[in-house]
Structure 1
Amino acid sequence: MTGGEPGARPRSARMLHEWFADGLARNPDGPALRILDRSWTYTEADAVARTWAAAVGTAGEPAAPVAVLASKTPEAYLGLLAALYAGAPAVPLNPENPVARNAAVLRAAGCGAVIAAPHAVGQVARLLQSAPVHVVLAPSTDRAALPAKLPSAVGGARVLTAGDLSEPGRATAWQPPAGTPDDIAYILFTSGSTGTPKGVPVSHGNVSAFLAASLSRYAVRPEDRFSQVHETTFDLAMCDIFPAWAGGACVCVLSRLQALDPARWVRRYGLTVWHSTPSLARGLQRADRLAPGSLAGLRQSVFAGEPLLVDTARYWQRAAPDGVLDNIYGPTELTIACTAFRWHPDQDLSDPRYGATVPIGDPNAGMEAMLLAPDGAPPDGAGELVMTGPQMFRGYLDPAQDADRFLHHGGRRWYRTGDQVRATAHGWVHLGRKDAQVKINGYRVEVGEVEAALRETSGAEAVAFALDAPGGARLAAYVLGDPEPDTARLAERLAERLPPYMLPRHLWWLPDAPLNAHGKTDRTRLREDAVRRLGHEGEATP
């Protein structure tokens, strides 16, 4: 990677948009973003982001967070950059999520502006009824196409459309305001056990530490083409976007359907770096969709978000024989990924202590780790992973949610991941969660939030859990007690509260809850019943 200019900040302590400036300097006329057959060069992306930043940065409260309401459109990526240029934290929102949930995020983050994609503009009027902002930016929408209710919904706020941004000389010379690496770069909302999403503010310095640790590992170069499979509400999307942009490479956006045919899109886009969850690769393996050598253009494959099975890694490597494969790990609170393991087909992972999954490896440079036994003492080989270092966030948006998530040891503050790991000769092996948090298609889900939503919509007791199943874990849930609910209607109401990845795949009713010896609902028996209903062997993930 290129070095900084004389007097510039150290690479490990920089503003996130300064990393984009590295890519701009390296490859000004090369593509920074591609969506189907439309590409934006670095110079074009920079000009668009500055124009949008001027629009949101000159209205309302300076540095108030900017919501980016978009899914795999130019707004999702250039809007993220525009928020950074405006000197404001970006708050990605998925238009597919329920309006009530997006409105709750807007309120919790205190957003002062919304950048909306065309397909999301219709949601804005409803969204802002309970979460007013200062400016709505619809940069790809003509004013005539605005919903009739939108201006009245936002009160005195400014509504800017494509025509407003096309005025001659509009702010392409906008300069990002001065900031420090301690400022917040973006806020992501993860599932919360109380039914309220947790806001995770991630600083410029946190992401810079990740980039400084990762770029040398991946040796990003301008001719690279990165797959972009994840929604920007998922922090693993940042693992594609900013390493690519820091190196002058191109981010190639893939829809869900396109991601299911990687061989085609590796060829069409000339992809060199692939990043997805193991579930996607596992599904392709089960369907045997990848012929040997069909991903020969890839030089780097990265998997994250959930356990990667060794046989899935072997299957993928046969399809991408010329590249290397990394398994990375990290909760949002430790900024994208904080450990990494490079897998090789000839490695001997047959030791039963390692299990059938690829290790998650060792900490990134600058990160420190220790393991804790359930009683808080140092464990014997296995325990809860606890980490500290420059990638660790400072605390949740709501300080009350910090309770029990941090540990003070040796004069330092450490984050308790809740993940159980075992130390091996190949680094750590992930053993599962110590609490009621699970991974569904790579997304982190608090089962308690699903149960809270079920209880609220049904008025009855509810139990939810994840079951191991071919293709990855799936959510199942029971509503317990009389009267029998209309489960179809209940599922519809639940979809108004929760994003798609948090909706139970299976929803059943039981008039009586089985009880254990302590008089509590017997979750073990319910899990066993769910396995019988699904007609396959396997254990539920707690």
Structure 2
Amino acid sequence: MADPFARIDGAQVRPIDHLLLRDDPARPAIGGRAGAQSYGELEDSLGRLAAWLAGFGLPPGARIASWMAKGTVSALMPLAAPRAGLVHVPINPLLKHAQVAHILSDSGAGALIGTATRLDSLTEGDVPRTCQRHREDDAACAMSGGPALGPSAAAPHDLAAILYTSGSTGRPKGVMLTHANLRLGAVAVADYLALTPEDRTACVLPFSFDYGQNQLFSTWISGGSVYPLDYLTPRDVLKLVDRHDITTLAGVPPLWVQLTELDWPVETAAKLRRLTNSGGALSRPLVARLRALFPQADLYPMYGLTEAFRSTYLPPALVEAHPDSMGHAIPFAEILVVRPDGRLTADDEPGELVHCGPLVAQGYWNDPARTAERFKPAPPASRYGGMAVWSGDTVRRDAEGLLYFVGRDDAMIKSAGNRISPTEIEEAALAVSGVAEAVALGVKDDRLGQAVRLLLRAAPDAAEAVAAHLKQELPNFMQPRDIKILPDFPRNPNGKIDRVKLARDHGL
């Protein structure tokens, strides 16, 4: 029989809502506080949730938003909405009403599903008049029985989701993702992480975050089981790993810093088989701490951006020799490093990272101006052609083909004619004992244009040791004008350090 589904780069692209269909439906698919369900049971729940959504009477392609904590409903919404012919708009549960109001208005959401307390926090002005409101409790009730929708026949390039960026760098933008974008992202990650049906993934990152949502998709496409967790403290993560024999844990650097500060029992740490990182680079000292604390776990440093999901990863075997590297392209991604004129750079020559291929999103929802700034024709050297994501990130590629992050153009510090990468200063500071986190900012200086201010989350007496170390390791033009120690750094809803707020409070 002919393959009824499209193939892209040799991969079969079924609709994203087919993820739970398996030949072994009795295998566990979800567990933890959300309750345990097999693949067969979860597929039944998915079909009933999709039928309930379809009953809202929204036209095909209408946007449906969800604003709730992690659980079975939030885990299934990314599959149920597209099965019902709708486009899912997940909202980070940590956002406040003004941010939620912007997302509802910008997306033109026809319905919002949320927990009662979250819905009650919204005023009439926050919710468009045409947007229905439904309680998460009603969704959970609908999943327990009643009619069900079968798998959809969506085309690979049909829109399935709009993921809004955190908004830390300005008004949140809605990134448009198709069934193919989501499905191929799941295939790619499952492939290079070598996930198996025996794996159990702790889902601690927000499902509104592409990295967090892919925890579900890549595990399910491999036949493994997921364990959603809204943790209050890092110790909750440790307890989940211990209680459910978790093998796979994804995080961002601030979470890893907190987790490495815990006293992990040896037998609990040994349960983890792989650690994945994105949302910021791992420092050399943090890599060393992770490898010492979790010696049985493979460590996967990764780089991504919502506009193209994931771009690169560093194989665990290369972490020891190249701890600063972003690695190389993931499956289905073509990564080019180009000069301003679009030509490829030479070895070790800095240039802009450009992501080409089928993981590239479809632009920003209802925002052609900002879409045109980031989504442009691929460089002539691309084997894919078409539209590419021009990241704005400066990287370099060495002679072995490994990529290294240099910095974002809009984050570079310009001092006395020098372009200074904050990352280089931060990594040097993190090499000093007692420094947990570091952020380098540019501050106005009448003589230099900008001077360097270094912010640390560190022991109270660490500033002097850091200053001495930087004088040994960095040139004069990179030396901080001052060093400040803060008790904590602000975070954005995805758990990353909120550099914009730090810059506003301590920078220019």
Output the TM-score relative to the length of structure 2: 0.76
Q: Bigger CA drift: 7-16 or 359-368?
A: 7-16
Which of the residues 289, 301, 320 maps onto 2:275? 301
Do the aligned partners of residues 261 and 138 (structure 1) sit closer, same or farther apart at CA in structure 2, a change above 3 Å counting?
Answer: closer
Q: Distance in 2 between matches of 1:365 and 1:436?
A: 29
Do the aligned partners of residues 177 and 437 (structure 1) sit closer, same or farther apart at CA in structure 2, a change above 3 Å counting?
Answer: farther
Partner of 1:158: none
Partner of 1:77: 75
Do the aligned partners of residues 48 and 258 (structure 1) sit closer, same or farther apart at CA in structure 2, a change above 3 Å counting?
Answer: farther
Partner of 1:516: 446
SS in structure 1 at match of 2:164: strand
Where in structure 2 are the equivalents of 1:342-381 lying within 5 Å?
342-344=315-317, 347-349=320-322, 357-373=323-339, 377-380=343-346, 381=348
Q: Distance in 1 between matches of 2:170 and 2:321?
A: 43
The yes-or-no answer on 1:326 pairing with 2:278 is no
Do the aligned partners of residues 529 and 66 (structure 1) sit closer, same or farther apart at CA in structure 2, a change above 3 Å counting?
Answer: farther
Q: Distance in 2 between matches of 1:290 and 1:220?
A: 24
Partner of 1:181: 156
Do the aligned partners of residues 166 and 288 (structure 1) sit closer, same or farther apart at CA in structure 2, a change above 3 Å counting?
Answer: closer
Do the aligned partners of residues 364 and 7 (structure 1) sit closer, same or farther apart at CA in structure 2, a change above 3 Å counting?
Answer: same
Where in structure 2 are the equivalents of 1:173-252 lying within 5 Å?
174-191=149-166, 195-252=170-227
- C-alpha deviation, 1:309, in angstroms: 2.1
Q: Which amino acid aligns with 1:393?
A: A
> Structure 1, residues 300-356: CA drift from partner, whole Å, max 9, x if none?
221111111233223223333333221111100112x2211122488334xxxxxxx
8 Å CA contact 2:5–2:13 kept in 1: the answer is no
- C-alpha deviation, 1:93, in angstroms: 1.0
The yes-or-no answer on 1:277 pairing with 2:252 is yes
Q: Distance in 1 between matches of 2:277 and 2:166?
A: 21
Partner of 1:14: 14
SS in structure 2 at match of 1:279: helix
Q: Distance in 1 between matches of 2:136 and 2:321?
A: 53
Q: Distance in 1 between matches of 2:262 and 2:49?
A: 44
Q: Distance in 1 between matches of 2:2 and 2:225?
A: 23
8 Å CA contact 2:396–2:404 kept in 1: the answer is yes
Percent of aligned pairs with the same amino acid: 27
Q: Distance in 1 between matches of 2:321 and 2:483?
A: 33
Q: Bigger CA drift: 371-380 or 225-234?
A: 371-380
8 Å CA contact 1:113–1:135 kept in 2: the answer is yes
Q: Distance in 2 between matches of 1:64 and 1:200?
A: 15
- C-alpha deviation, 1:14, in angstroms: 2.4
Partner of 1:103: 101
- C-alpha deviation, 1:103, in angstroms: 1.3
SS in structure 1 at match of 2:186: helix
Partner of 1:463: none
Q: Distance in 2 between matches of 1:37 and 1:413?
A: 40
SS in structure 2 at match of 1:101: helix
> Structure 1, residues 198-228: CA drift from partner, whole Å, max 9, x if none?
1101111112222232222233322211010
Partner of 1:338: 311
8 Å CA contact 1:69–1:117 kept in 2: the answer is yes
- C-alpha deviation, 1:413, in angstroms: 2.8
Q: Distance in 1 between matches of 2:188 and 2:143?
A: 40
- C-alpha deviation, 1:296, in angstroms: 0.9
Uncovered stretches (5+) of structure 2, i.e. residues with no partner: 414-427, 456-479, 489-498
Which of the residues 360, 364, 377 maps onto 1:396? 364
Q: Distance in 1 between matches of 2:105 and 2:412?
A: 25
8 Å CA contact 1:223–1:249 kept in 2: the answer is yes
8 Å CA contact 2:441–2:454 kept in 1: the answer is no
- C-alpha deviation, 1:437, in angstroms: 9.6
- C-alpha deviation, 1:288, in angstroms: 5.3
Q: Distance in 2 between matches of 1:432 and 1:292?
A: 37
Do the aligned partners of residues 178 and 346 (structure 1) sit closer, same or farther apart at CA in structure 2, a change above 3 Å counting?
Answer: closer
The yes-or-no answer on 1:405 pairing with 2:360 is no
Q: Distance in 2 between matches of 1:390 and 1:369?
A: 12
Q: Which amino acid aligns with 1:370?
A: L
Do the aligned partners of residues 392 and 201 (structure 1) sit closer, same or farther apart at CA in structure 2, a change above 3 Å counting?
Answer: same
Output the TM-score relative to the length of structure 1: 0.71
Q: Which amino acid aligns with 2:91?
A: L
Where in structure 2 are the equivalents of 1:86-101 lying within 5 Å?
86-101=84-99
8 Å CA contact 1:26–1:248 kept in 2: the answer is no
Q: Figure out how many residues of one structure are paired with residues of the other and give that number.
A: 438
SS in structure 1 at match of 2:208: coil
Q: Bigger CA drift: 8-17 or 362-371?
A: 8-17
Uncovered stretches (5+) of structure 1, i.e. residues with no partner: 142-160, 350-356, 439-466, 478-512
Q: Distance in 2 between matches of 1:191 and 1:166?
A: 30
Q: Distance in 1 between matches of 2:440 and 2:93?
A: 22
Q: Bigger CA drift: 132-141 or 272-281?
A: 132-141
Do the aligned partners of residues 208 and 60 (structure 1) sit closer, same or farther apart at CA in structure 2, a change above 3 Å counting?
Answer: closer
SS in structure 1 at match of 2:258: helix
Q: Distance in 1 between matches of 2:357 and 2:167?
A: 24
- C-alpha deviation, 1:275, in angstroms: 0.9
8 Å CA contact 1:514–1:525 kept in 2: the answer is no
Q: Which amino acid aligns with 1:19?
A: L
Partner of 2:228: 253
Q: Distance in 2 between matches of 1:57 and 1:437?
A: 48
> Structure 1, residues 461-482: CA drift from partner, whole Å, max 9, x if none?
xxxxxx98844456999xxxxx
The yes-or-no answer on 1:66 pairing with 2:41 is no
- C-alpha deviation, 1:362, in angstroms: 0.7
Partner of 1:445: none
- C-alpha deviation, 1:44, in angstroms: 2.7
Which of the residues 136, 147, 171 maps onto 2:147? 171
